Structure 1
């Protein structure tokens, strides 16, 4: 083989290696991310999933959003499916203690799982959320102040989801500091259709059982859908003029509209859903870059919403 031929052969070999290197780099850069939730019908979940997707657009990620439509148990099999597909990271929006088997399979496979308003758990890298303790305390004290520390309060809670369960515990503690406040009922609505319809039905039953004006002083809801359902029930029963105070948490658009109207629904707490989604995406990027995340929970700031700022 001549010197010229050897040079050409070497050049071709080098080009092939270079092309292979570019191909390998592209393959590494394309990261597969799965976002799994049973709560996509909830406005809050929709907002931060959309924010996560928006933040991911600037990255070389293939994001797969999986909705199990209220089926919490199905989240386990979906996580296992993603483990089989060898995704690079999984983001969940569900009580981690209810999907331990799935989380363990991800850990065994070396796939990081990040919570997005899920709940703290040793099997998660971290959980990005709002400070539920602070939000619940803020709305519960708002209620206590508005009713002068006395009267019957209806609470809408949801113990199956840690971020919401915490809110109920804190609100109970706040109300417990007022000896003249009585918790008339702890209501857990059916959330399969979003929660408004069943909350309205349950509130209608409570109002029927307590027909005297002033027999219900306030409704504290751990999120906005029950608050909206309670508002509908109170208005339909012709009891809007009794001054029943309603508070929620999330400050979704429908809640803001109701608060701005100046009726019974007086306050909610705005979570920064875009901030939660964007922060979750940032954490995923940091994890993929092999950064150690030391915080078990990362809190995104919130804001109390009343009639004075509901339209902002």
Structure 2
């Protein structure tokens, strides 16, 4: 254990040193645009704030642009900042949906980075959590908790790549258990973050399946639908059935519910601050002249249950 820690510490110190050098090489006063349609999501807020904090240390000017759920508007805003001559663009959106904006940036030789976005040849690097691993961890948790049998309700969101991959992996895990049935696969409206619509849709599922034990678990690809499902279950008076709920993100509201030891049992904590800081450091490395070897950079995650929710 001590040897492992020492080696990791050494690697970490080397990484910090390289980042500091790259940050110093990137001149102060750089103008960076951060564009997202998802600023209503707590996770997005956290890593945008961390990016801004790190950018402030580097002496950059940051313009955060929220298109408030309008993905198509991201393209025009990208074109706007390209015309303004920014030094780099950071995106939190599916790059496949903003190709024209990426082309405009490429034509102007403005580097584009993903902050929990998706992969694209026109993006220097996407800094994110490992969605495959997070989904596998929570889906296996569900499968084990319900003894490999029963009906599961899934909340997914395919339009956003980091969340879409989670649904794919959860489908694969549940598909490996012949006695687990995906009762419904729901895509909630995320205009307000997803809690209200997830609650409404879960209420409909509960009404259609009124028998105790007819729903064994709710697997959600992020915390807001999990919280909405929890509200629906409690409002229906069915919390005593032992319906297992899992989410991903471990935002403060989710942690509070998990700590109570009720239906919401587990989530995965993404290091949102780490994503934001690492994105800024990656931008600094590129602006400092470094050529990146990897176009996807994963920031570590951690399973959260009632045992460690308060940490």
Say yes or no: TM over 0.5.
Answer: yes
CA distance in 1, matches of 2:265, 2:237: 18
User: After TM superposition, where is structure 1 displaced by more than 3 Å over at least 4 residues in a row?
Assistant: none
Alignment of 1:164 with 2:163, yes or no, is yes
Query: Mind listing any 5+ residue stretches in structure 1 that lack a counterpart?
Result: 1-27
CA distance in 1, matches of 2:176, 2:266: 21
Alignment of 1:42 with 2:37, yes or no, is no
1:241-288: CA deviations, max 9, x gaps?
Answer: 000000000000000000001110000000000000000000010111
Partner of 2:54: 55
CA distance in 1, matches of 2:43, 2:258: 17
Alignment of 1:282 with 2:287, yes or no, is no
CA distance in 2, matches of 1:130, 1:96: 17
CA distance in 1, matches of 2:53, 2:295: 24
Matches within 5 A, 1:1-312: 29-312=28-311
Partner of 2:7: none
> Cα offset for 1:103?
0.5
CA distance in 2, matches of 1:215, 1:107: 52
The 1:180/1:173 distance shift into structure 2, 3 A limit, reads: same
Partner of 1:23: none
1:121-168: CA deviations, max 9, x gaps?
Answer: 111001000000000000000000000000000000000000000000
SS at match of 1:163: helix
Matched length: 286
SS at match of 1:29: coil
CA distance in 2, matches of 1:227, 1:237: 15
SS at match of 2:211: coil
> Cα offset for 1:29?
3.5
Partner of 1:15: none
CA distance in 2, matches of 1:123, 1:206: 42
CA distance in 1, matches of 2:82, 2:284: 19
State TM-score, norm by structure 1. Answer: 0.91
> Cα offset for 1:198?
0.2
Whose radius of gyration is greater, 1 or 2? Answer: 1
CA distance in 2, matches of 1:184, 1:102: 39
> Cα offset for 1:60?
1.9
CA distance in 1, matches of 2:256, 2:59: 38
> Cα offset for 1:111?
0.1
CA distance in 2, matches of 1:223, 1:29: 36
CA distance in 2, matches of 1:115, 1:294: 15
> Cα offset for 1:222?
0.1
SS at match of 2:85: coil
CA distance in 2, matches of 1:134, 1:85: 39
1:40-90: CA deviations, max 9, x gaps?
Answer: 000000000000001111112110000000000000000000100010000
Whose RCO is larger (CA < 8 A, sep 6+)?
2
Instruction: Provide the alpha-carbon RMSD of the alignment.
Output: 0.9
